[in-house]
Structure 1
Amino acid sequence: MGAWAENRGPGAFGAHGGRWERWERWERRRLPWASTLLLAVFVLVGTAFAARGQHSQRLPLDNYARLLLLAGPALLLFRHRRPVVAVFGVSAIALVYFAAGYPYGPIFLTVGVACYAAIAAGHRRAAWWAVGSLWLGHLLIAHWLYRWLPPPHDRAAPWGQELVIAAFVVALCAASELVRVRREQWAREGAERRAAEKRRQDEERLRIARELHDVLAHSISVINVQAGVGLALLDSDPEQARTALTTIKAASKEALGEVRQVLDTLRTPGDAPRAPAPGLDRLPELVEQAAGAGLTVEIVRDGRRIALPPGTDLAAFRIIQEALTNVVRHSGSRTARVRLGYAPGLLELLIDDAGPATGGDAGGSGNGLVGMRERAAALGGTIEAGPGPVGGFRVRATLPLPGPGLPPEEPV
Structure 2
Amino acid sequence: MVFDPAPSQRRGPRLPHGRAADLALAGVVFTVVALGSVQSFWDEGERSGPVLALAALLLVQACGVLYFRRRHPVAVGWTVLVLTGTFYSLRFDGPLVIALIVALYTVAATGRMRAAVALVSVVVFGVGTVSVLGSEDLTGLAVFLLSGWLVAVVALGYVRYSRLAHAREVERRAATEERLRIARELHDVIGHHISLINVQAGAALHRLRKDPAKAAAQSEEALAAVKDSSKAALRELRATLGVLRQADEAAPLAPAGGLDRLGELVRAAERAGIAVRTRTEGAKRTLSTEVGLAAYRITQESLTNVARHAHATAVTVRLRYGDRDLLVEVEDDGNGTAAHGGAGTTGPSTGSGLGGMRERARALGGELIAGPRPGGGFAVQARIPYGPYVPGQPDGPQVSRENGAGRRP
The bucket for the TM-score relative to the shorter chain is 0.7 to 0.9
Q: Is the 8 A contact 1:120 1:179 kept in 2?
A: no
2: CA distance, partners of 1:311 / 1:43: 62
- 1:301-342: CA deviation from partner (whole Å, max 9, x where unpaired): 122211111111111111111111111111122111111112
What is the letter of the counterpart of residue 155 of structure 2?
A: V
Deviates more, 1:246-255 or 1:210-219: 210-219
RMSD (Å) for aligned C-alpha atoms:
3.7
Aligned to 1:84: 78
Q: Is the 8 A contact 2:305 2:340 kept in 1?
A: no
Say which of 51, 55, 59 aligns to 1:69. Answer: 55
Check if 1:200 corresponds to 2:155: no
Q: Secondary structure at the match of 1:355?
A: coil
Check if 1:218 corresponds to 2:196: no
Say which of 269, 274, 296 aligns to 1:290. Answer: 269
Q: Secondary structure at the match of 1:109?
A: coil
Deviates more, 1:354-363 or 1:198-207: 354-363
For structure 2, which runs of at least 5 residues remain unmatched after alignment? 1-14, 70-74, 109-115, 343-349, 389-409
Change (3 A) 1:396 1:167: same
Aligned to 1:262: 240
Change (3 A) 1:362 1:343: closer
Q: Is the 8 A contact 1:330 1:362 kept in 2?
A: yes
What is the letter of the counterpart of residue 218 of structure 2?
A: Q
Q: Secondary structure at the match of 1:322?
A: helix
1: CA distance, partners of 2:126 / 2:150: 18
Check if 1:247 corresponds to 2:221: no
Count of equivalent residues: 347
Scaled by the length of structure 1, the TM-score of the pair is 0.72
Say which of 315, 319, 326 aligns to 2:294. Answer: 315
Larger-gyration structure (1/2):
1
Q: Is the 8 A contact 1:214 1:322 kept in 2?
A: yes
Aligned to 1:237: 215
2: CA distance, partners of 1:362 / 1:45: 80
Check if 1:391 corresponds to 2:376: yes
Deviates more, 1:258-267 or 1:126-135: 126-135
Give the CA deviation at 1:94.
Answer: 2.4
Aligned to 1:12: none
- 1:14-33: CA deviation from partner (whole Å, max 9, x where unpaired): xxxxx99x859995xx9x98
Q: Is the 8 A contact 1:119 1:177 kept in 2?
A: no
Give the CA deviation at 1:44.
Answer: 7.2
Scaled by the length of structure 2, the TM-score of the pair is 0.73
Structure with more contact order per residue of length (Cα contacts < 8 Å, sep ≥ 6): 1
Deviates more, 1:384-393 or 1:251-260: 384-393
Q: Secondary structure at the match of 2:94?
A: helix
- 1:55-110: CA deviation from partner (whole Å, max 9, x where unpaired): xxxxx121243144235326525564242354245324522x23xxxxxx5x3333
Change (3 A) 1:379 1:127: closer
What is the letter of the counterpart of residue 219 of structure 2?
A: A
What is the letter of the counterpart of residue 215 of structure 2?
A: D
Check if 1:121 corresponds to 2:114: no
